[in-house]
């Protein structure tokens, strides 16, 4: 078995595609992609903040304070065209001449005296990238509403303090018992499994395709079967090669991401993330990496069994797509709101590992649950490995 393992590892290391998937992607391409995504998102947010929107307002004389606030807002510029109706504003927004139209009712002040609400209208395209524009207009409207409230309370002889108490009779003081690690870990902990677990699968997929379907296509599988090595030893040698590749991809990714985060922290303010990552102990970090071992065993068994069944390299690749979709579903379940690590979720493959990683990063993990996950995942990995050995021994599978 060890000789088969050495032979397969040497062949994989000679393959430039393997080095690309196992080394180049985690070390260079993934960090570059994530960095580029972050840069583009920050640029998009910056442009959105700096963009000046063309607006039109009808009935500004009824709410001069509101009109002045919008006029001097850095994000708005008054249109030179006058609009007299809602329909005209709608057409202008549809054609892109106008970004937002504001129609102020003539009873902007008088309605409050009668105990009624004044009905204003804001015309904009809520399906476009400008949907956030409503919030800016709404904030200005709230400021004007506060002015009207203050005027009304003053006319009734109510002091400012009394008006605040009347509008908000209960003041809630938030006392958060979660520390910084738990707060950041709740968000970061959901992202890390979403990155690591697919990489474990990706690191196993390509070598498995080459060691199974690739051997068939090249015609070298028959030669291997004629050697004085049992089929069990042969398939286990291939299995441990795929397992090593899977774990190496995840390990290189973790080290690479840590390196690039440390570099990026010198240029951007990532103190909160680095502080949280610094609080993760050696035990927790070791458990995160160890939990990937049986998970990699599950993935390695599945992809190797699929590769052994496939007739050609291309057919094996076609089978990997549905497998990736199936593997993503438990990850999505783990990211659902209020999904926690319990006795039930600890028995769900992939979901249990993702939830355990999140709890380890938060520092709120129940180590008995981690032990249960290890047992369940190792048991499943052992069953699938046994199936893979049995699968390899079937002539109808090898030479279909």
Rama region for 59: left / alpha / beta (φ>0; ψ in -120 to 50; rest): left
Cβ-contact 234, 4 below 8 angstroms: yes
- Each of the 400 residues of the chain gets a pLDDT tens digit; together they read 767 777 677 766 666 666 666 666 666 666 666 667 767 777 777 776 777 889 999 988 989 899 998 888 888 899 988 888 889 999 999 998 998 999 998 888 888 878 788 899 999 887 765 557 888 888 888 888 888 888 888 888 888 888 888 888 888 887 877 676 777 777 777 777 887 888 888 888 888 888 888 888 888 877 777 788 888 888 888 899 999 888 888 777 777 766 666 665 565 555 555 555 555 667 777 888 888 899 999 999 999 999 988 888 888 888 888 888 888 898 888 888 778 888 888 889 999 999 998 888 888 888 889 899 999 999 999 999 999 988 888 888 777 6
Q: Are 382 and 388 in contact (CB under 8 A)?
A: no
Q: Is 285 exposed, middle or buried (0-12, 13-18, 19+ CB in 10 A)?
A: middle
pTM of the complete model: 0.68
Tell the burial category of 203 from Cβ atoms under 10 Å away from its Cβ (0-12, 13-18, 19+).
Answer: buried
- Rounded to 5°, angle at Cα 201 from 198 and 202: 85
Domains of the chain with CATH codes: 2-36+180-398 (no CATH), 52-167 (3.40.190.10)
Residues near 317 by beta carbon (within 8 Å), at least 6 away in sequence: 209
Q: How far is CA 95 from CA 77, 89, 124, 295, in A?
A: 18, 10, 11, 54
Residue 359 and residue 361: Cα distance in Å, rounded? 5
Question: Residue 71: is it exposed, middle or buried by C-beta count within 10 angstroms (0-12/13-18/19+)?
Answer: middle
Q: What share of the chain is helix, strand, coil (3-state, %, to 5)?
A: 70, 5, 25
Task: Quickly list DSSP for 248-309.
Answer: HHHHHHHHHHHHHHHHHTTTS--HHHHHHHHHS-HHHHHHHHHHHHHHHHHHHHHHHHHHHH
Burial letters for 338-361: b for 16+ Cβ neighbours within 10 Å, e otherwise? ebebeeebbebbbbbbbbbbbbbb
As a residue count, the chain comes to 400
């Amino acid at each position: 078995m060890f000789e088969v393992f050495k032979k397969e590892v040497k062949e994989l290391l000679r393959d430039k595609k393997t080095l690309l998937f196992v080394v180049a992607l985690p070390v260079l391409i993934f960090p570059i992609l994530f960095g580029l995504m972050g840069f583009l998102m920050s640029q998009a947010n910056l442009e959105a903040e700096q963009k000046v929107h063309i607006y039109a307002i009808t009935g500004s004389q009824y709410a001069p304070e509101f009109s002045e606030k919008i006029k001097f807002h850095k994000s708005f510029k008054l249109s030179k065209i006058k609009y007299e109706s809602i329909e005209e504003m709608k057409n202008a927004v549809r054609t892109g001449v106008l970004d937002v139209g504001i129609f102020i009712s003539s009873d902007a002040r008088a309605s409050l005296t009668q105990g009624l609400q004044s009905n204003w209208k804001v015309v904009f395209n809520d399906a476009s990238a400008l949907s956030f524009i409503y919030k800016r207009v709404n904030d200005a409207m709230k400021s004007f509403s506060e002015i009207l409230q203050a005027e009304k309370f003053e006319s009734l002889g109510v002091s400012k303090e009394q008006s605040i108490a009347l509008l908000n009779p209960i003041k809630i003081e938030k006392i958060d018992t979660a520390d910084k690690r738990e707060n950041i870990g709740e968000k970061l902990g959901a992202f890390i499994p979403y990155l690591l677990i697919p990489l474990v699968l990706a690191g196993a997929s390509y070598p498995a395709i080459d060691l199974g379907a690739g051997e068939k296509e090249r015609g070298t599988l028959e030669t291997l079967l004629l050697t004085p090595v049992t089929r069990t030893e042969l398939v286990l040698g291939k299995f441990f090669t795929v397992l090593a590749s899977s774990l190496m991809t995840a390990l290189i990714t973790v080290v690479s991401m840590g390196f690039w985060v440390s570099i990026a922290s010198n240029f951007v303010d990532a103190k909160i993330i680095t502080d949280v990552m610094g609080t993760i102990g050696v035990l927790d970090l070791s458990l995160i990496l160890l939990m990937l071992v049986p998970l990699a065993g599950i993935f390695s068994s599945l992809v190797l069994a699929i590769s052994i069944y496939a007739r050609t390299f291309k057919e094996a690749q076609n089978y990997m797509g549905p497998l990736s979709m199936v593997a993503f579903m438990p990850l999505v379940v783990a990211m659902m709101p209020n999904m926690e690590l319990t006795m039930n979720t600890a028995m769900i493959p992939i979901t249990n590992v993702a939830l355990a990683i999140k709890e380890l990063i938060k520092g709120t993990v129940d180590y008995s649950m981690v032990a249960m996950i290890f047992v369940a995942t190792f048991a499943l990995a052992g069953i699938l490995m046994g199936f893979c050995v049995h699968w390899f021994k079937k002539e109808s599978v090898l030479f279909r």
